[in-house]
Amino acid sequence: MKKSKDTTTESEILNAAKRIFQRKGMSGARMQEIADEAGINKALLHYYFRSKQLLFEAVFKSLFFMLAPELNKVLNDDSNLFDKIKSFTANYISFVIKHPFLPNFIIQELNRNPEFVTTLITNEYFPNISTFKNQVKEEIAQGIIKPIKPEQLFINVLALNVFPFIASPLLEGLLAINDKDFNKLMEERTTQVADFIINAIKI
């Protein structure tokens, strides 16, 4: 009784689980809810994934390696540093619009279980920072940008792009604005964040 369609039962479950886990986290998600979301019996979840923990891990890894290529855009693109920062900043927002809960989910679950990151590191698609490091050092040596540790610059790029979406409910409260105005601010950032960073480091 193979479904053999492009939506197998297993991937249907995984997608349903992704949706639920992203919103509710490991401890907030319920197996019954995931089964309902997938439109199947709860026992089938255990047939395909044995336990909640294993289903969660499958979801987590799959979602992390959806985010990884986005990070690689800052790390392993062959353009110069400024262009790289510009394109990352411009692209990140469209990724978040498609997957609004994903970055927060990754960060939240890594805080709950920090050791989990060691599992990810061994994967060949895990983002590697060494090219970025060399590039920053190179451009510092060439007098294009001010001296800064590549790690600090990387953290800053990530912070300025990722944080606003993770903290959106808080920011909407602090700035006393609604969703619509917040989204406008985020659109402005597609260019402004890159300018901000470039201004901070260029000589």
Partner DNA sequence: ACATTTGTTAACCAAATGGTTAAACTAAAT
Partner DNA sequence: ATTTAGTTTAACCATTTGGTTAACAAATGT
Q: Are 71 and 131 in contact (CB under 8 A)?
A: no
Helix pair angle (42-49, 52-75), 10° resolution: 60
Closest CA to 199 of 77, 12, 191: 191
Task: Establish if 199 lies at the interface with a second copy (CB under 8 A).
Answer: yes
Distance of CA 80 to the CA centre of its chain: 23
Q: Which of the choices a second copy, DNA, none does residue 86 contact, using the CB cut-off of 5 to 8 A by kind?
A: none
Q: Closest separation between CB of residue 112 and a second copy, Å?
A: 7
**Residue 62 binding a second copy, by CB under 8 A:** no
Asked if 189 is part of the footprint of a second copy (rule: CB under 8 A), the reply reads yes
Whether residue 28 contacts residue 35, with contact meaning beta carbons closer than 8 Å, is answered with: no
Among 23, 36, 44, 166, which residue sits at the site for DNA (rule: CB under 7 A)? 44
Q: Does 171 bind a second copy (CB under 8 A)?
A: yes
- Beta partners for 202? 145
Least Cβ distance, residue 94 to a second copy (angstroms)? 19
Q: Are 25 and 102 in contact (CB under 8 A)?
A: no
CA distance 20 to 37: 8
The pattern of x and - marking residues 106 through 145 that bind a second copy according to CB under 8 A reads: xxx-xxx-x-xxx-xx----xx-x----------------
Long-range contacts of 170-176 (CB under 8 A, 24+ apart): none
Segment contacting a second copy by CB under 8 A, of 9-17, 43-51, 54-62, 191-199: 191-199
Q: How far apart are CA 87 and CA 118, in angstroms?
A: 29
- Binder of a second copy out of 32, 79, 175, 187 (CB under 8 A): 175
Span from 3-11, 116-124, 167-175, 193-201 in contact with DNA (CB under 7 A): 3-11
Contact 71, 89 (CB under 8 A): no
Interacting positions 14-33 with DNA (CB under 7 A)? 29-32
CA 9 to chain centre: 26
Contacts to a second copy by CB under 8 A? 24-28, 71, 104, 106-108, 110-112, 114, 116-118, 120-121, 126-127, 129, 146, 148-149, 151-152, 154-156, 158-160, 162-164, 166-177, 185, 188-189, 192-193, 196-197, 199-201
